[in-house]
Amino acid sequence: MSEDPRFPLTKLLAALKARNYHFITPTPATHARAIARRQAADDLRDVFGWSLPFDYTDFDLEIFAALQKANAVDPQGAWLKSRVRVSSLDDDFFLHSAYPTTQQDAVFFGPDSYRFAAFLKAELPGLGARKCIVDIGSGSGVGAIVAAKIIKPESVWLVDINGRALELAMANAAFADIESALIFSQTSGVPAEASPDLIIANPPYIADPLHRAYRDGGAMRGAALSLDWARQAAEKLAPGGAFLLYTGSAIVNGQDRFKAALLETLRDFDVSYRELDPDVFGEELEREDYADVERIAVVGVAAVKR
C-alpha cells in the first residue's frame, strides 16, 4: 500500500484500514431509507459510509486530521460532514462523493460498481495478456484498478471528463498499490495518444434531466454514450484488441434496441452480449420519458476485434 505524500486522502484510507473499516454502499434509494430516522454519526461507518454529520469534539483525531489536510470536511450546523464516502471492495477501498450525489461533478460508487467489478473478474482471465488498458469514464477508478490487478499490463489509462473523479481515482489507485504505469487524462472518450489493446467502460446509462456527468447517458434513453464509446473502441482497437462494456439498456415491448445498434457498431468484432441483471432503477419508469419502457436491464458486452 502506497504512502505517497501527494495523496492525503490515501493516508485517510490507510487509517481506516488500520481500524478494520468496512462498508458496502447500497443504492441511493436504500441509503435514504437507512438514514431516514437518524441525525448524527455514532461511528466511522456512519461518517464515511452513511454520510452522517459528526461531532468533531468526540472523534478520532488522526482521522479528523486526515480529513482536514485533504480539505474534505464541511460544516453542517453544529456538526461537520465528510465530503467523501469510502466503500469496500475486496481488500481495497474506494473514495467517492458524499451522499446525496447531487453535484454536477459528483463521483459515484454503488451497486453498479460492484457488478462492473464482478463482470471484469469473469471476463478478463479469458482475454490473455494485455499491454495497455484504457478505462473510459473511469470515475473512482474501480474498473482500472480491478483490471490492473488481474492482467498486470504495462500501462493503464484512467480517463474521465470529471477532474474530481480523477483526483479521487489517484488516491484510490495509490492505496491499491498498482504496479502498472498509470496515466490520468481529463478528456472524453479514448485519448488520441493512447494505444490500447484493451478498452473497458462502465458509462452512465440513464437519461438524466440534471445532466450529471456520472449519471447521464444521453439520448436513446441513456444509451447514446455507450454507443459512442463503442464506436471509439471499434475505431481505436487493432485486430485482437478487446472491448469490455458494462452498461444498461431500456427494454421497450420486449425489444432491446440498444443491442441491435451495438452489434451493428461492432460488426467487425466477435461479440458476447448478455443480461447481467434484468431489472434495475425501476423508479425511473415513473418518469414521462420512460413511459413506454417496461424495464431497464444491465448488460455485459465482451467483444474482440477480428
Question: What's the pLDDT tens digit per position in 138-194?
Answer: 999 999 999 999 999 999 999 999 999 999 999 999 999 998 999 999 999 999 999
Question: What's the pLDDT tens digit per position in 249-284?
Answer: 999 999 999 999 999 999 999 999 999 999 999 999
In Å, how far are 84, 156, 198, 298 from 136, measured between CA atoms?
22, 11, 11, 18
| Burial 133-144, CB ≥16 within 10 A → b, else e | bbbbbbbbbbbb
The DSSP output letter for 238 is: P
Q: How far apart are CA 109 and CA 95, in angstroms?
A: 8
User: 85: part of which helix (H) or strand (E)?
Assistant: strand 84-89
End-to-end C-alpha distance for the chain, whole angstroms: 39
pLDDT of residue 58: 82
Phi, psi of 287 (to 5 degrees): -80, 150
Identify the band that residue 210 occupies on the pLDDT scale cut at 50, 70 and 90: confident
pLDDT at 211 over 90: no
pLDDT at 80 over 50: yes
pLDDT at 129 over 90: yes
Cell of 38: 437518524
Please state the rounded mean pLDDT for residues 24-31: 96
| Domains assigned to the chain | 8-97 (no CATH), 111-305 (3.40.50.150)
Contact 282, 290 (CB under 8 A): no
Contact 227, 303 (CB under 8 A): no
The DSSP output letter for 222 is: H
Q: Where are the alpha helices (DSSP H) in 70-208?
A: 111-123, 142-151, 163-176
Question: What's the pLDDT tens digit per position in 279-303?
Answer: 999 999 999 989 999 999 999 999 9
Q: Where are the alpha helices (DSSP H) in 74-161?
A: 111-123, 142-151
Please state the rounded mean pLDDT for residues 198-214: 90
pLDDT of residue 48: 98
Cell of 101: 450525489
Identify the band that residue 2 occupies on the pLDDT scale cut at 50, 70 and 90: very low
- How far, in whole angstroms, is CA 223 from its chain's centroid? 17
Q: How far apart are CA 200 and CA 142, in angstroms?
A: 11
Contact 77, 16 (CB under 8 A): no
